[in-house]
Amino acid sequence: MKHIVYMDHNATAPLRAEAREAIMATLDLGGNPSSVHSAGRKARRVVEDARELVRAAVHAPKTAQVIFTSGGTEANTLALNGVTRALTSSAEHASILKARDDMETVPVDGNGKIDLGHLQDSLSNGDGNAVVSVMMANNETGVLQNINDIAHLAHRYGALLHVDAVQALGKVHVDFVALGVDMMSLSAHKVGGPTGAGALVASKDVKLVANNPGGGQEGGLRGGTENVSGLAGFGVAAGMAVAELAEMDAVKILRDQLEQRVLEIAPNAMIFGKNVDRLPNTSFIALPGVLAESQIMAMDLAGICVSAGSACSSGKSLASATLAAMGVPETLAKSAIRVSLGHSNVNDDIESFLSVWKDLYERNEAKQSAA
Ligand code: PLP
Residue 127: per-residue pLDDT: 80
- Is pLDDT above 90 for 3? no
Q: Any alpha helices (H) in 58-212, and if so which ranges?
A: 72-79, 94-97, 116-124, 147-156, 176-179
What residue spans in the chain does CATH classification 3.90.1150.10 cover? Answer: 5-13+246-370
Question: For 357, left (φ over 0), alpha (ψ -120 to 50), or beta?
Answer: alpha
- Is pLDDT above 70 for 329? yes
Note the CATH number of domain 17-243.
Answer: 3.40.640.10
Alpha carbon nearest to ligand 1 atom 8, residue: 11
Instruction: Answer yes or no: is the C-beta of 141 below 6 A from any ligand 1 atom.
Output: no
What residue spans in the chain does CATH classification 3.40.640.10 cover? Answer: 17-243
Q: How far apart are CA 113 and CA 98, in angstroms?
A: 20
Please pick, among 263, 265, 312, 324, the residue that the annotation labels catalytic: 312
Mean pLDDT of 345-366: 97
- Is pLDDT above 90 for 1? no
Specify the long-range contacts of residues 90-96, CB closer than 8 Å, at least 24 apart. Answer: 90/325, 91/135, 91/138, 91/321, 91/322, 91/325, 91/326, 92/133, 92/134, 92/135, 92/164, 93/135, 93/139, 93/164, 93/166, 93/310, 93/312, 94/310, 94/312, 94/321, 95/164, 96/133, 96/135, 96/164
Q: Per-residue pLDDT tens for 70-110?
A: 999 999 999 999 899 999 999 999 999 999 999 999 999 99
Question: For 214, left (φ over 0), alpha (ψ -120 to 50), or beta?
Answer: left
Minimum mean pLDDT among 13-17, 21-25, 251-255, 317-321: which range? 317-321
In order of 84, 183, 211, 310, the CA distances from 75 in angstroms are 18, 10, 10, 18
305: annotated active-site residue: no
Residue 131: per-residue pLDDT: 97
Segment (H or E) for 164: strand 160-164
Q: Per-residue pLDDT tens for 158-202?
A: 999 999 999 999 999 999 999 999 999 999 999 999 999 999 999
The architecture (CATH level 2) of 5-13+246-370 comes to Alpha-Beta Complex (3.90)
Alpha carbon nearest to ligand 1 atom 5, residue: 139
Instruction: Answer yes or no: is the C-beta of 142 below 6 A from any ligand 1 atom.
Output: no
- Is pLDDT above 70 for 314? no
